[in-house]
Amino acid sequence: MGYVRLKEIAERACVSINTVSRALKDRPDISESTKEKIRQIANELGYIPNVSASRLRSKQNRMIGVVLTYLDNNFYARILEGINTAFSEKGYTILTLSSQEELENEQKLLKTLVANRVAGMIIVPSQDLVNTMDYDELGVPHITIVRKGNRNTRSFFISDSYESGRLAAGYFRSRDCRSPAYIGFDKPVSCNRDRLSGFRESLNDAGILLKKERTLLSGATAKDAYEAAKTLFTADREVDAVFVYNDVMALGVLRAMHEQGIVPKKDMLLLGHDDIDNSRFYTPALSTIRVPKYRLGYDAGIELIGLMENSETPERNVIYRPQLVKRET
């Protein structure tokens, strides 16, 4: 079944195509009775407006590009909800793409979005510690989120990952843990670097050493972290607390603990990061560090709208404070 055209509605209503177009746009020069008749016929035929054609005629693009690293991570799903709310209120359409944490993929996606003349972009920089892309050269209003982007001069919206590390260390210290470990992400990203730095330095302040052999890096999936945790627990039975880069990975660590007969909170503390929606529904419920995901997405969207409407809008960098959430691990 093909798209219903204005010509079909016009033939059914016995009016011109121009009259149909003006009636559906609620123009004042068309009578209310004619408008109602045309709307009814349009509904009966299943007419859907051609937004792309309308944009071409008006020379206004209402498309926003969003480039994330992974689409299958619930952390980004919640951020996207906030972004969607911000832009849907203004009638924009969002095109979301995934770089898979690869710089070459990210560059291709950004070029594709520019070629399609998007009105603005929200970007999570891939591998930001080695990423040398200059987003300003894209010539499109943009904001980076979650990570800053090394050469980006516009606004960024991120969480304080260094503070997250300090929160984790403080929690373990309060429970008198003396043999902590860290399982992080093996890509060069600032979130991992800063969480590890804050964690290690806060432990050092309390006279607790985070040993090199207790610092493991893996891929960002539950399976990857599960394998890393098995290696750690097999080699070192003295570990009494583990801080993990994100909740998805922490769930893999939780599985490894179960297989090794390690009882969460009794034998070992486990702390994730992000507070994804599913983390509180697992048994045991995952202790984690909460990031205001929806708010971050919504605020970034509103900020980008301001940049698109006024190119002279000054940059605004926002750093959100994380929050410790104690549950059952």
pLDDT at 151 > cutoff 80: no
Same domain, 167 and 283: yes
Residue 50 CB partners (closer than 8 Å, separation 6+): 3
Phi, psi of 186 (to 5 degrees): -90, 10
**Cβ atoms within 10 Å of 283's Cβ, excluding its own:** 8
Same domain, 152 and 172: no
What CATH number is attached to the domain comprising 232? 3.40.50.2300
Res 1: pLDDT: 39
Residues of the domain holding 88:
61-160+293-321
User: pLDDT, tens digit, for every residue of 74-129?
Assistant: 999 999 999 999 998 788 889 999 999 999 999 999 998 888 889 999 999 999 99
Same domain, 31 and 80: no
In the chain, the percentage of residues whose pLDDT exceeds 90 is 65
Phi, psi of 262 (to 5 degrees): -90, 120
pTM, entire model: 0.82
pLDDT at 155 > cutoff 50: yes
User: pLDDT, tens digit, for every residue of 158-203?
Assistant: 999 999 999 999 999 999 999 999 999 999 999 999 999 999 999 9
Which neighbouring-strand residues pair with 274? 290
Same domain, 44 and 120: no
What Cα–Cα distance (Å) separates residue 82 from each residue in 68, 78, 272, 273? 14, 7, 22, 19
- The predicted model gives 260-268 an average pLDDT of 95
For residue 266, being part of any structural domain is answered with yes
Cα angle 24, 28, 30 (rounded to 5 degrees) comes to: 60
Which neighbouring-strand residues pair with 182? 215, 243
For residue 56, being part of any structural domain is answered with no
pLDDT at 137 > cutoff 90: no
Same domain, 270 and 210: yes
Write the DSSP symbol of residue 264: B
- pLDDT bucket at 250, cuts 50 / 70 / 90: very high
Residue 44 CB partners (closer than 8 Å, separation 6+): none
Phi, psi of 303 (to 5 degrees): -65, -40
Number of domains in the chain: 3
Res 58: pLDDT: 47
For the chain, how many helices (H) and strands (E)? 11, 12
Same domain, 188 and 115: no
Same domain, 299 and 156: yes
Distance CA 309, CA 44 (A): 38
Q: Which of 308, 104, 112 is nearest to 96 (CA)?
A: 112
Same domain, 266 and 173: yes
What CATH number is attached to the domain comprising 27? 1.10.260.40
For residue 132, being part of any structural domain is answered with yes
**Cβ atoms within 10 Å of 272's Cβ, excluding its own:** 28
Task: Tell me the CA end-to-end span of the chain in Å, nearest whole number.
Answer: 54
Same domain, 22 and 44: yes
